[in-house]
A and B are shown apart, each in its own frame.
Chain A
C-alpha cells in the first residue's frame, strides 16, 4: 500500500499545524504570558540581588551567581506550567484537545508537540530574563564565549521542563492539581541550585542529595560553568548528561501517560 509514503509529510504538516495553533494562541495572549513569566524571577532578582545587597546582607557577587540560576529556573518552570496546566484542564473538563487528537497525526506526536510547545515557552521565558538582568543589576559579567553552550543547556532544560509538565499534566487529576503544585513546584523551586552553588553544599549533604535529583540543578550549574566559571560549578559534560537523561525519562513517562489519557 502507499499508506506509509503519504503519512510522512502529512504528519509533519499536521504537527506544524498543531504547534502553530499553540504559538498563535500564545501570541494573542502575549501580554499576560510575559507578565506571568517575568513577575516571580524579577522579584527574586530584585530582592536578593539588589535589595539585600544594598542592605549589606548578601555579598555584591551574589547577583552574579543568582542570574544564571534564574535563567535555568524559568526555562524549566515556564515549560512545566505551559505543558501541565492546560493538559489537566483539557483532559478532565473541556476536552478541547480532542480536535487535535483527531488530526491526522499519531497520538505520540501530539504529546511531543506539547513538549516542544512548552519548551519553546520556557526558552522564551528564560531568554527574556537576560535583558531584565542587565536592567536590574548594576553589572553582569558573563564570559560571552560560553553563550553557545549556555544555549544548548537552556534548550535541554526547557525540553526537560516540557516533558516533566507532560508527566504532571497527564498523571494529576484536576481536583489535586493545587496540592500537587504546592508539593512539587515549591520544592523544585528551592532545590534547583538556583540560589546557591551546588558544590558548596558539602556540609549539608542530605540537601545536596535532594538537589542532585532536581533537573534544574544541572541547568543552573551548567550555565554557571559556561557564563560565570569563577563560581564553583559541576562539570559541563555531567550537566549535559543529566539533562539528556531527564528529557528521555520524563519524555517516555509523559508520552506514555498522554497516550493513556488520550485513548480509552
Chain B
C-alpha cells in the first residue's frame, strides 16, 4: 500500500536539473495513410509549475500533441515525457502523474457528479477513506457543492467543465492538460476556469493548455508555443513574442491646420519614430497620419504631440495601436481560413 506514496518524485522541486514537467523532442505523428503528419518534428519543454500554452489554428496539431502526451495517441517517432516518464514506454506510470481535461465533455453519465470524482479516485488507487473527503473538497472549490447528486446530463456547459477539472485533480496530478478549456463557455464560466488555472499553477501544478484564444493564452500562460502544421513556429513569453513582432506599435493622429509635408518631415526626425504615413483620403477635411514607433507607442507619444503643436496643428483624435498576440499569431500562421 505504501509503495504508491513513494513513487512521486517529491524532491524534484528542490533539484534544479530535475526532468522538465513535460518534454517533447522531435515528435512526429502521422495518422494512418495520411501523407502530411499531424505533428511534424515538434520540440519543446515545460518547466515545473509553469502554465504553458499551445496556441495554434484548428488542425495545427495541438490536440494530437496533447493526445500523445496523455497516452491516448501513439507517436510515430520522437520522444514525449511527462514528469520524466516516457509516455510511450510507460503509459501506465505516466497516467498516474497526469490529469486530463478533454476538449469534449466525457463525464460518466451512469454516475452522479460526486460519483464521477469518487470513482475516478478509485481508478487511481486513492485510499477509500480519502476519496469522499477529497471529492467534497473539490466540489466546494469548483462551486459545485450543491450539484453533488446531479447527473452530468443536467449540468450546464460551465458546470460540466468545472466538474471535469475537479475530476482531473482528484488523483493529485503533477501535470494537468487542458484541451481548449473555455471553448463554448460563457464569460463568467471562463473567468472562473481561468481563476482556477491560475490557482493551480500557484499551488505548484504544471498546466499545459491548448487554445486558439489569444487573450486566454496571453492572460494565463507563462510561455506560449505557437504551432501550425504540426511545427513549432515560436516559443516565448507572450510579451516577448509581441515585442519580437516585425510589425510595430503605431500612433494614429487626426489633425487639422498644419502643413502636412513639413509636419511629416519633423515627425520623421524624432527619436523613436520609424515611419510616418499619410493616410488621409483626397477629399478628407482633416489629415490622418500614422506614426510608426520603434518601441512602445506610449513612450513616443509626448515628443510626437509636441512636434504637432510646434507645427501649429490641432489634434482632434489620437489612437495608440499596440501589437497583440493576435498580430503575432496572424503574422506566423497567416490569414487563410482553416
Q: How far is the CB of B7 from chain A (nearest CB, A)?
A: 5
Q: How far is the CB of A222 from chain B (nearest CB, A)?
A: 34
Is B120 located at the chain interface by the 8 A CB criterion?
yes
Is B31 located at the chain interface by the 8 A CB criterion?
yes
Complex alpha-carbon distance, A106 and B4, angstroms: 17
Instruction: Evaluate whether A264 and B123 lie within 8 angstroms (CB atoms) in the complex, with A94-B109, A101-B72 already known.
Output: no
Is B268 located at the chain interface by the 8 A CB criterion?
no
Asked if B73 contacts A5 (CB within 8 A), the reply is: no
Instruction: Evaluate whether A106 and B91 lie within 8 angstroms (CB atoms) in the complex, with A17-B122, A263-B74 already known.
Output: yes
Q: Which of B86-134 contact A (CB under 8 A)?
A: 90-93, 95-96, 100, 102, 104, 106-111, 116, 119-120, 122-125
Interface size on A, residues (CB 8 A): 33
Asked if B74 contacts A264 (CB within 8 A), the reply is: yes
Is A104 located at the chain interface by the 8 A CB criterion?
yes
Task: Select one of A17, A95, A106 contacting B123, CB under 8 A.
Answer: A17
Asked if A102 contacts B70 (CB within 8 A), the reply is: yes
Q: How far is the CB of B75 from chain A (nearest CB, A)?
A: 10
Complex alpha-carbon distance, A101 and B124, angstroms: 11
B20: A residues at CB distance < 8 A: none
Asked if B93 contacts A3 (CB within 8 A), the reply is: yes
Is B78 located at the chain interface by the 8 A CB criterion?
no
Q: Which of A1-46 contact B (CB under 8 A)?
A: 2-3, 5-7, 9-11, 13-14, 17-18, 20-21, 24-25, 28
Complex alpha-carbon distance, A17 and B118, angstroms: 10
B102: A residues at CB distance < 8 A: 95, 98
Interface string of A182-195 (1 = CB under 8 A from B): 00000000000000
Asked if B7 contacts A6 (CB within 8 A), the reply is: yes
Complex alpha-carbon distance, A135 and B336, angstroms: 73
Asked if B107 contacts A10 (CB within 8 A), the reply is: no
Q: How far is the CB of A107 from chain B (nearest CB, A)?
A: 8
Asked if B167 contacts A14 (CB within 8 A), the reply is: no
Is A103 located at the chain interface by the 8 A CB criterion?
yes
Is B206 located at the chain interface by the 8 A CB criterion?
no
Q: How far is the CB of B84 from chain A (nearest CB, A)?
A: 10
Q: How far is the CB of B18 from chain A (nearest CB, A)?
A: 15
Closest to B121 in A: A17
Complex alpha-carbon distance, A107 and B91, angstroms: 9
Asked if A102 contacts B95 (CB within 8 A), the reply is: yes
Task: Select one of A11, A99, A105 contacting B108, CB under 8 A.
Answer: A99
List 14 interface pairs A-B (beta carbons < 8 Å), by A numbering: A6-B7, A7-B92, A7-B93, A14-B124, A17-B119, A21-B119, A28-B110, A95-B106, A96-B107, A101-B72, A102-B72, A262-B72, A263-B73, A264-B74
Binding site for B on A (CB under 8 A): 2-3, 5-7, 9-11, 13-14, 17-18, 20-21, 24-25, 28, 94-96, 98-107, 262-264
